[in-house]
Amino acid sequence: MTDKHPYYLRFRTFISNLNYMIQIIERFLKYVQIDTQSDPKSKTTPSTEKQWLFAEELVEELKEIGLEEITIDDNAYVMATLPSNIEEEVPIIGFISHFDTSPDFTGTDVNPQIIENYDGKDIVLNALDNIVLSPDYFEDLRQYIGQTLITTDGTTLLGADDKAGITEIVTAMEYLIDHPEIKHGKIRIGFTPDEEIGRGAHLFDVDKFGADWAYTLDGSQIGELEYENFNAASAKVTISGKSVHPGYAKNKMVNAISIATSFLEILPPEETPQRTSGREGFFHVHHLKGEIEHAEFELIVRDHDQELFEKRKELLQDITANLNRIHGDCISLEIKDQYYNMREKVEPVMYIVDFAKAAMEAVGVTPIIKPIRGGTDGSQLSYMGLPCPNIFAGGHNFHGKYEYVPVESMQKAVEVIVKICEIVGEKFDGADIMEENNDDL
């Protein structure tokens, strides 16, 4: 049998894909077993020392696979380069993921489970605590029947957000190094700390990164391609009360808890995360504490539409003003904008979305273009001069014990990265597009 025989070629492809999948699994398992949980209370960058361990190990791995211009700065931002292998001058593109995991659920002692050839039934994550990952509740599971899933053991999060993205970027770079016949321009990759606490792009050096545009690998299910996200703000309401013996409290006591309750009752009850979807915005109270003398709560404000976003903040200000008139200026409100909808910065250069869409279609992935109901480093980076749509990384049920990722989705994400590099390297008419969009870039 010759090496050009169709059966031989099919067998060689099968073995290549099998080795490819094993490589992805091993790399991902290594990453998720390093605790990189961020801390919103910390004032440092990165917010936790344990993120340094991952960043430093990542630097060594990038050296081993043969990347160049590898740097790690004083805040643990990691960058590296895959040099161009073509003579033509084409745009420099980047791929970015974050290595911290959410503070919402423990990421210590992650013990992943591998479910081969998933049969579509309940997956017992932890028999002792009766923790079950069920398709009856998490319906997305059914689309992965027959695939290999990586899950938690029911006691921690998994960390696919966003170590799946890092796995995919590093694997794609290694694949391109091993396959120089795939023509591409200069590729930059970057890995950031503290995305989960909203600081992932704060100290990202866009000029140093030097890309014309980039993609974050931080989406969820296979096919997601996003260039819209929420406009976001945080708000803190503080209420000062007066404690008086309840038997003699008439017209004297100011109960901070009661006032806090009144404030929250005015917020539209249907505009909460659990009652909204798509482009619908919301108010989300996530911390609340109080006693008679003092009460405070924190909430986030989200909306894709800029005008509606501003009206939401105005509503908080109006409620504060009205209750202060009633209760005597005992309420203070602090609102801070966090990030904005990147659509404004991406739409003028929509061809960067088109490249990703074409790449997905070329490798057999159906693009799912929809707004992100959240934020991503890409939104802040877009406003810092680096247009940055978001591509799927493959995971589901982030930030909790039911998190899982199909290996085949990670494999497809790798293929999408490689194909984007190939499309830009071989088919990009740089002069025309860059000239037409120079002002926007």
CATH number at residue 397: 3.40.630.10
Q: Does any domain span residue 215?
A: yes
Both 331 and 357 in a single domain?
Answer: no
Report the b/e string of 247-284 with b at 16+ CB within 10 A: eeeeeeebbbbbbbebbbeebeeebeeeebeeebbbbe
Angle at 201 between CA 220 and CA 91, to 5 degrees: 80
- Write out the DSSP string of 412-424: HHHHHHHHHHHHH
Last residue of a domain, one of 339, 373, 395: 339
pLDDT at 349 over 90: yes
pLDDT digits (tens, 9 = 90+) for 304-321: 999 999 999 999 999 999
59's tokens = 């630097």
Beta bridge partners of 405: 150
**Which range, 20-34, 68-82, 362-376, 420-434, has the best average confidence (pLDDT)?**
68-82
Neighbours of 21 (CB within 10 A): 15
pLDDT digits (tens, 9 = 90+) for 363-376: 999 999 999 888 78
Secondary structure class of 337 (helix, strand, coil): strand
Both 212 and 78 in a single domain?
Answer: yes
C-alpha dihedral over 334, 46, 345, 218, to 10 degrees?
Answer: -110
Q: Does any domain span residue 31?
A: yes
Which residue, 229, 220, 196, is CA-closest to 393? 220
Whether 417 and 252 have beta carbons less than 8 Å apart is answered as no
CA R_g for the chain: 24
CATH, residue 314? 3.30.70.360
- Write out the DSSP string of 103-136: TTS--TT---EEE-S--SS-EEEETTTTEEE-TT
Neighbours of 172 (CB within 10 A): 24
Q: Does any domain span residue 318?
A: yes
- With cut-offs at 50, 70 and 90, classify the pLDDT of residue 9: very low
Q: Does any domain span residue 280?
A: yes
Q: Does any domain span residue 178?
A: yes
Domain range enclosing 295: 232-339
Q: Does any domain span residue 202?
A: yes
pLDDT digits (tens, 9 = 90+) for 271-301: 999 999 999 999 999 999 999 999 999 999 9
Both 236 and 224 in a single domain?
Answer: no
Q: What share of the chain is helix, strand, coil (3-state, %, to 5)?
A: 40, 20, 40
Question: From CA 412, how far away is CA 364, in angstroms rounded?
Answer: 8
Both 65 and 138 in a single domain?
Answer: yes
pLDDT, average across residues 170-178: 95
Both 200 and 326 in a single domain?
Answer: no
pLDDT digits (tens, 9 = 90+) for 106-151: 999 999 999 999 999 999 999 999 999 999 999 999 999 999 999 9
Q: What's the domain count of the chain? A: 2
Both 320 and 404 in a single domain?
Answer: no
pLDDT at 11 over 90: no
Helix (H) or strand (E) holding 98: strand 93-98
- Taking the alpha carbons at both ends of the chain, their separation in whole angstroms is 53
pLDDT at 430 over 80: no
Both 92 and 208 in a single domain?
Answer: yes
Q: Does any domain span residue 3?
A: no
Q: Does any domain span residue 441?
A: no
C-alpha dihedral over 263, 298, 382, 196, to 10 degrees?
Answer: -150
pLDDT at 21 over 90: no
Quickly list H helices, 179-295: 206-209, 256-266
Q: Rounded to two decimals, what is the model's pTM?
A: 0.86
Backbone φ, ψ for residue 158 (5° rounding): -95, -45
Last residue of a domain, one of 306, 339, 372: 339
Backbone φ, ψ for residue 272 (5° rounding): -125, 165
Both 323 and 356 in a single domain?
Answer: no
Both 331 and 313 in a single domain?
Answer: yes
Both 318 and 424 in a single domain?
Answer: no
Question: From CA 66, how far away is CA 93, in angstroms rounded?
Answer: 18
Both 335 and 403 in a single domain?
Answer: no
Both 166 and 297 in a single domain?
Answer: no
Residues with catalytic function: 100, 195
- Write out the DSSP string of 169-203: HHHHHHHHHH-TTS----EEEEEES-GGGT-TTTT
Last residue of a domain, one of 303, 321, 339: 339
In percent, the amount of the chain with pLDDT more than 70 equals 93
How much is the pLDDT for 183? 94
